[in-house]
Every structure is written in C-alpha cells, then in structure tokens.
Amino acid sequence: MDGARFVRVTLRRAGLRRSFPPDFAARLEGKTVQALTRRGKYLVAPLSSGETLLMHLGMSGSFRLDIDAGSRRPGAGDEPGRHDHVVFRMSSGAIVTFNDPRRFGVMDLVRRGELNQYPALAGMGPEPLGPDFTAAALARACAGKRTPLKVALLDQQVVAGLGNIYASEALYRAGLSPRRRASTIATPTGLPREGAARLVAAIKQVLRDAIARKATAYRSARFRVYDRAGEPCRTRSCEGIIRRYSQAGRSTFSCPICQR
C-alpha cells in the first residue's frame, strides 16, 4: 500500500466493531498512502489528504493481498468471501481485502494533527522492541499495581501491542508467575528489581523470535507454554505440568513450579 493510491474502496457492511466513519470510502478514493507504520496493535497509514487511516485487526482480522490483479481475467475474484468486509483496489494493481470473521477489527480516519489525542493511542506505553522499553520503564509502570503481572502486561499504557499469547510466553521464559502482583518487579520507590530485567529481556526475545519465524498468533506448536495445558513443563529438570486458567477473560498458561 505504501506509495499507492486508492482507486476504489468497497465496503460490504456498515462497520466492523463499530461503524465506519462518515463517507469513509469517498475520503479514501483518490488519496495516496504516504507511509505504512504501526503503533501498538494499530496499522497507521498517513494519507495525501492530511488524514491518517488507522486499522486494527481485532482478534480474527487479516489482510489478503493479490499482487497480480492486473493479469487476472475480467471479473475474477469479484465474488466476496463470506467474511471479506473491505476491499481496497490500489493504483499499483493490487487488491487488498480485509477479512474478519468475528468483526472485532477497526478502521478509522483521523486528522494527522489529532493522532496523539486519538483515544486508543493517547497514553500508550513504549513499543516493546523500542529503546524506551527498559527494565526501569517497566518497573515505573508496574510500581504500586495490585493487579496480576500478566494483566498488567496487557495494559497498553504499560507496554504497547503486547498480546495475550506472547505475554504468557514471556512470563514463562522469565520464570515469573502470571498471578504475582505487578508491583513485585519494582521496589517501593519504583526502581526495577531483577525480575523486571528478566521480563523485559524475555519480551524482546519472544517477539524477535516470532518475527524471525514469521509466526502467526495461533501456531501453538511453536510455543513453549501457550495452549499446552496438561503437558510437561519444557524447562530442563522441572517436573511441573502446564496449567490453564483465566485472567481478565483471557486464557493464561503457566508452570506452577518454575514460574514464581
């Protein structure tokens, strides 16, 4: 999409998690994508109009890209799939289709100068792979928090974009219980304890490994703990059995022995 112009935008429903903004298709058509970046779990696409297109995949959303659209026979691919809700036809000849079975995704348009005030982005914490995400930053964010550590990691004001699966994986690698209070990785004055450094390192490594593998969120065979309830712990010499339980409405997986 970067550098391409929206030739035609087709909306196959009135909205996703919420309604599309007024005149959504008309405000996109004819505009050029100046860049394609990310903030937290949002894709951010500044446009030549001065607006920014924000997109969130939700729990089940995905984009399908046809890079050979210009060579297809007339009418090919025009029949939508059941969950194909938005179709972007680009000046490059590509067709970008947004598919979302559960319709938890979001698409919105925001004036560029108002991006930092957008409710979902305002106050968002540091990017987990960025230089600002350090043990000191994590400790400051968790100091005094009585919530479980796993729940704190899912708070976008603590760290941006870390999802449920990789939070479980990082806590396992760091040897920290998802149930312990978030405040326990910080001193009373907000300085980092040793666990904060281990956890930051684990978060960064889990995400780098996933990027290197081009991992999708639900390939459980590649996870050490997530979706492995009832299986032996993979930590050498640990005799624990992985358990599953719910935290803040999300599934958590951990070892009751080596995660403290």
Domain-located, residue 122: no
Residues 103-131 pLDDT 10s: 999 999 999 889 989 999 998 999 999 99
pLDDT exceeds cutoff 50 at 3 = yes
Domain extent for 105:
6-117
Helices 164-174 and 194-213: crossing angle in degrees, nearest 10, is 130
pLDDT exceeds cutoff 90 at 54 = yes
Judgement on whether residues 113 and 174 belong to the same structural domain of the protein? no
Domain-located, residue 123: no
CA distances from 11 to 25, 70, 101 (A): 7, 21, 15
Judgement on whether residues 74 and 147 belong to the same structural domain of the protein? no
Q: According to the 3-state scheme, what is the secondary structure of 69-133?
A: HHHCCCCCCCCCCCCEEEEEEECCCCEEEEECCCCCCEEEEEEHHHHHHCCCCCCCCCCCCCCCC
What CATH number is attached to the domain comprising 193? 1.10.8.50
Domains: count for the chain = 2
pTM of the model: 0.83
